[in-house]
Structure 1
Amino acid sequence: MPPRNRRLTLRSLLALCTIILGAGTAWAVDAIAVEIVPVEERPLTFDIKLTGTIAAQDSIDLSFPAGGRITSILVQAGDSVRGGYALARSDDVQQQQALVQALAGVEAAQAAEQQAAQAAARTAELLERGVGTRAAADAAEQALAAARGQLESARTSLRQARRAVLDAVIRAPQAAVVTARWAEPGQVVGAAQPILRLAALTRLEAVFQVPDTPQLDGAADARISLVPLDRPGAELTARVTEIAPLVDPATGSVTVRAAVDGPFDASLLGAAVQGTLHMPAGTGIEVPWSALSASGPSPAVWRVAPDGTVALAPVEIERFATGRVVLRSGVSPGDSVVGEGSHLMFPGRRVVPGKGS
């Protein structure tokens, strides 16, 4: 190669090296915007996944006080009813006959009481005139007392007969939603046999069947996040109100009930839900999962120095949580670590807050 061309080639290589070194120096010096997370000690929770259903906190089972044949059922499961609304009727022929007899009995007892009262008044007047006897007056008073007793007994029978006629109709005790129907018209049912179940429009609760674990001992009053399985976007919150003291021998599980926050939503009745029980787990240090890196075979995070440079800090992991990592050691409250953007770090690189910091 001619000397002139050789000199040009060397000059070109030197210029190119200068450009590359200049670019590398600028890359090393310029700060990069990343998520900087302050390290804080905060209350921790231990999450337990649950699956259950939504039910009414106050349910009412309705039945006829006396057995008989059902003549009509006026509602279906899912219907909303007002207080006093007629829900079902049974054959009341016998009750109506008993009511007629009770009315007749009251009329007869009233007539007998009036006659006894008149007789007692006459004997008392004769006694005052001196033409009657004390024995006759006393007998008339006893007859009047007996007649009044019979009248009161007849009135009691009348009230019972009227009550029996009313009991032949099942009415809603308050505003509610029908959640179950266990009988059909024409069916003969026994006394107190459940016919309908109502959900009172008070509050909803989530009911879970969970394995018996020691963690449940601290679940009283714990918070639960709920997501209905048929409404993935909907989120509810609840608070544990009851943990069954005994294990169900049939399933080996424990019933956990949690009152759902917010107004009553009848459309959620019977819905399957997935819950996350947030159990208190003391205090500790949490960092986002994006902050986790590695130093050889060990986990590490990028600690941010006061001058904005980063250094790799080995850490010990306590446990993993959803989107978070709980650290046992390696960083302390007051430190700052790199969250999102940690994969772009190298020792000594400068960072500035950005990307959600």
Structure 2
Amino acid sequence: MTVRPLLTVCAIVLGNGASWADDAPIAVEIVPVEERPLTFEIKLTGTIAAQDSIDLSFPAGGRITSILVQAGDRVTGGYALARSDNVQQQQALVQALAGVEAAEAAEQQAAQAATRTAGLLQRGVGTRAAADAADQALAAARGQLESALTSLRQARRAVLDTVIRAPQTAVVTARWAEPGQVVGAAQPILTLAALTRLEAVFQVPDTPQLERAAGVRVSLAPLERPGVELTARVTEIAPLVDPATGSVTVRATIEGPFDTSLLGAAVQGTLHMPAGTGIEVPWTALSAAGQSPVVWRVEPDGTVAIVPVEIERFATGRVVLRSGVSPGDSVVGEGSQLMFPGRRVVPGKGR
């Protein structure tokens, strides 16, 4: 940043004998000096990823007959993604249906027998033992029917399990198997990225500042989408250093509406780390007297006075001062190159 040189004018006498100090006030930018929270910015480069990842597999092992998606495909909830050989499951379903039909017939016969024996007992021509036996047979038949219905539900579930379906709207990020391959139970076939939340993932050198990064705001700029700006918050800092890279993984959840097409995009992030409080002035307020930085302070009578300052650091468009001015003071911003001690100023846009 270039520091403006001080224009030193002790006295300039006009043709009528008046000095510049006696001339009309000049309109300049007058900036109030305030103490405000400061941030220390760290530039990062990473990628946008899904916050939730889903691995899909077949509950039972078997031979894959088809995989209907490729990596990068976007799918909706319920969409069929892969199928496995279901011949055995279909046969088991047919047997289960036959078992239910047989159990229903047996239950109906037992119910009819129980009704007859109860009627005979009421008329006095039957025995209690026969009625109790009929009731026991009915209870057993009903138990068999319930067992058959359970087997039917399991058989239907097994047929449905030969098809992998998307649980929700997502993007396929990995395909781990191919048609014709024999896989085991719960062996991953596809990996999906849920589109409910996106996050930025960075690999950051291990520094002490990371201890204060949790919850810090991050400004994101996708490298392939100029002009697009996103905001995120740091939600996770890996407790261990990756031995392969010597870096720490930092994750920041993207806030507000986001474009799901950004999944996998490279992104530049600016981590706004809190750095206490300090006094900031615009860079236009900074001048120099010899080798020393100075600002023009506006006095209560509307004149300006030169004040040496000590610079803490530079920020984009701003200068952080360590000393020289205090909260409640006012300094000249735009137009400071026109100042000299005692010159009168009024608020304006500067020159």
TM-score range relative to shorter protein: 0.7 to 0.9
Cα distance, 1:309 vs structure 2: 4.8
Which residue of 100, 112, 118 maps to 2:112?
Answer: 118
Q: CA 1:248–1:106 in 2, change beyond 3 Å: closer, same or farther? A: farther
Find the counterpart in structure 1 of residue 239 from structure 2. Answer: 246
Find the counterpart in structure 2 of residue 175 from structure 1. Answer: 169
Q: CA 1:147–1:64 in 2, change beyond 3 Å: closer, same or farther? A: same
Find the counterpart in structure 2 of residue 9 from structure 1. Answer: none
One-letter code of the match for 1:247? L
Find the counterpart in structure 2 of residue 265 from structure 1. Answer: 259
Q: CA 1:255–1:296 in 2, change beyond 3 Å: closer, same or farther? A: same
Identity of aligned residues (%): 85
Cα distance, 1:85 vs structure 2: 1.9
Greater C-alpha Rg: 1
Equivalenced residues, count: 337
Tell me, in whole angstroms, the C-alpha distance in 2 between the residues paired with 1:182 and 1:339: 62
One-letter code of the match for 1:287? V
Tell me, in whole angstroms, the C-alpha distance in 1 between the residues paired with 2:49 and 2:328: 46
Find the counterpart in structure 1 of residue 230 from structure 2. Answer: 236
One-letter code of the match for 1:69? R
Tell me, in whole angstroms, the C-alpha distance in 2 between the residues paired with 1:245 and 1:210: 10
Which residue of 78, 89, 113 maps to 1:84?
Answer: 78
Deviations along 1:274-299, one digit per CA (max 9) or x if unpaired, are: 11122233321011234333333333
- Match of 1:275, SS state, is strand
- Match of 2:167, SS state, is coil
For the pair 1:155 / 2:146, whether they are aligned, the reply is no
Tell me, in whole angstroms, the C-alpha distance in 1 between the residues paired with 2:143 and 2:259: 54
Find the counterpart in structure 2 of residue 193 from structure 1. Answer: 187
Cα distance, 1:147 vs structure 2: 1.7
Q: CA 1:349–1:334 in 2, change beyond 3 Å: closer, same or farther? A: same
Find the counterpart in structure 1 of residue 90 from structure 2. Answer: 96
The answer to whether the 8 Å contact 2:27/2:350 transfers is no
One-letter code of the match for 1:181? R
One-letter code of the match for 1:219? A
Which residue of 93, 101, 108 maps to 1:107?
Answer: 101
For the pair 1:65 / 2:68, whether they are aligned, the reply is no
* Deviates further, 133-142 or 99-108: 133-142
For the pair 1:134 / 2:150, whether they are aligned, the reply is no
Find the counterpart in structure 2 of residue 336 from structure 1. Answer: 330
Tell me, in whole angstroms, the C-alpha distance in 2 between the residues paired with 1:196 and 1:321: 47
* Deviates further, 159-168 or 278-287: 278-287
The root-mean-square deviation of aligned C-alpha atoms, in Å, is 3.1
Cα distance, 1:186 vs structure 2: 2.4
Structure 1, unaligned stretches of length 5 or more? 1-19
Cα distance, 1:28 vs structure 2: 5.4
Scaled by the length of structure 2, the TM-score of the pair is: 0.82
- Match of 1:69, SS state, is strand
- Give the structure with the higher percent helix: 1
* Deviates further, 243-252 or 97-106: 243-252
Structure 2, unaligned stretches of length 5 or more? 1-11
